[in-house]
Amino acid sequence: MVIPTHDRPAALTSCLETLQHQDLAASDLEVVVVDDGSEGDIASVVQRSAATAPFGMRCERQPLSGLNSARNRGVAVTTGDVIAFLDDDTLVSPGWATAILRAFEDHPCAGLGGLVELGLEAPEPPWMGELRYYLAAYDLGGEARWLEDDPVPVGANCAVRRSEIERVGGFRTGLDRIGRSLVSNGDTEFFRRLRSAGGRLRYEPRAAVVHCVPPDRLTVEFFTRRHRAQGVSDELLRHLEEGHPATLGHRVGLARETVRAARSLAADFLLRRDRIRSRFLVAYWSARLGATRLPPPAA
């Protein structure tokens, strides 16, 4: 399994501690942490956990290259037939690894996504609601099932057969987080590409993790940044999947959505209504319109 990380030693330590309690043979699990250009000493964090781990655990370091590059590096240096991916700020249930292996043994799936619950470290804002998915929440219910459509698995908790990665190629670099950037969609693009190539995807709720969300990610300021980044991400993904730059008609449509959101924000201001949702929409649509001028990620 692969855990990309960048300068989050405390979160990584907690993640690795939960992995110590997996209920499967030590020979069936290999953990590789890929340090993507951290300034701190991530190798020491991994070494401390490895000293008490009942299975192999090591750290691979690379220059700051981004989340997808780190995922690909992890694939290159692991040896298992099934490669699982976790975010470094997840807490893993004891039956997580067993549930993943059994799902691949029992079903002809190319990849799967596990349940991702949110562990909020501050009260949930009243405006968040369905925006929980911006924090990588992934809950499709308590029953395992095939995924015939979106939402595809999320990178915080997913797994893929090595043969399928080799067949369709790895994660697209330039379509995910690097440093403080919040650009995303690398996991979405990968699993859509895998599905389009005939790979069947499955949801397995028994492979459950908790995604820890610190207080600074439960603010209007963070969600505004997150919406802005999602606008860029969605436009980059559209460009990549459709294979051509934005048409004039597409730009006009995005401009209309931006104007509509701005008018809603102005009306909320004048009528002294809550302006949070309108602010998010302005950030998303204006950023998406601006991203029509960007080149697509490398195919």
pLDDT in tens, 168-194: 999 999 889 898 899 999 999 999 999
Of 150, 127, 143, 161, residue with least CA distance to 237 = 150
Whether residue 192 sits in one domain with residue 66:
yes
Domain that holds residue 171: 2-217
Whether residue 125 sits in one domain with residue 250:
no
Whether residue 168 sits in one domain with residue 239:
no
Each residue of 6-44: pLDDT tens digit? 999 999 999 999 999 998 888 899 999 999 999 999 999
Contact between residue 204 and residue 139 where contact means Cβ atoms under 8 Å apart: no
Is 298 a residue whose pLDDT tops 80?
A: no
Cβ-defined contacts of 234-238 (< 8 Å, 24+):
234/185, 234/288, 235/288, 235/291, 235/292, 235/294, 236/174, 236/175, 236/183, 236/185, 236/291, 236/294, 236/296, 236/297, 237/175, 237/185, 237/188, 237/189
Q: What is the CATH number of the domain that holds 161?
A: 3.90.550.10
The tokens describing 93, both together, are 């249930």
Which single residue is written with the structure tokens 């028994």? 206
Cβ-defined contacts of 129-134 (< 8 Å, 24+):
131/223, 131/280, 134/223, 134/226, 134/227, 134/230
The tokens describing 54, both together, are 């009942």
Q: Which of 171, 186, 217 is the last residue of a domain?
A: 217
Q: What's residue 152's pLDDT?
A: 97
Each residue of 234-275: pLDDT tens digit? 999 999 999 999 999 999 999 999 999 999 999 999 998 999
Q: What value does the mean pLDDT take over residues 219-231? A: 97
Q: Is the pTM of this model over 0.85?
A: yes
Q: What's residue 147's pLDDT?
A: 97
Q: What's residue 296's pLDDT?
A: 84
Q: Which of 155, 189, 217 is the last residue of a domain?
A: 217
In whole angstroms, give the CA distance from residue 176 to residue 4.
12
Contact between residue 3 and residue 33 where contact means Cβ atoms under 8 Å apart: yes
Mean pLDDT of the chain: 96
Q: How many domains does the chain have?
A: 2
Q: Which of 217, 234, 261 is the last residue of a domain?
A: 217
Backbone angles phi, psi at 214, to 5 degrees: -70, 165
Confidence of residue 299 (pLDDT cuts 50, 70, 90): low
Contact between residue 231 and residue 284 where contact means Cβ atoms under 8 Å apart: yes
Report which DSSP code applies to 138: B
Each residue of 126-171: pLDDT tens digit? 999 999 999 999 999 999 999 999 999 999 999 999 999 999 999 9
Whether residue 184 sits in one domain with residue 123:
yes
Q: What value does the mean pLDDT take over residues 101-130? A: 97
Whether residue 137 sits in one domain with residue 169:
yes
Q: For residue 238, count other CB atoms closer than 10 A to its CB.
A: 18
In whole angstroms, give the CA distance from residue 242 to residue 218.
34
Whether residue 148 sits in one domain with residue 48:
yes
Q: What's residue 24's pLDDT?
A: 86
Whether residue 50 sits in one domain with residue 103:
yes
Contact between residue 168 and residue 199 where contact means Cβ atoms under 8 Å apart: yes
State which H helix or E strand residue 58 sits in. strand 56-62
Of 297, 278, 50, residue with least CA distance to 189 = 297
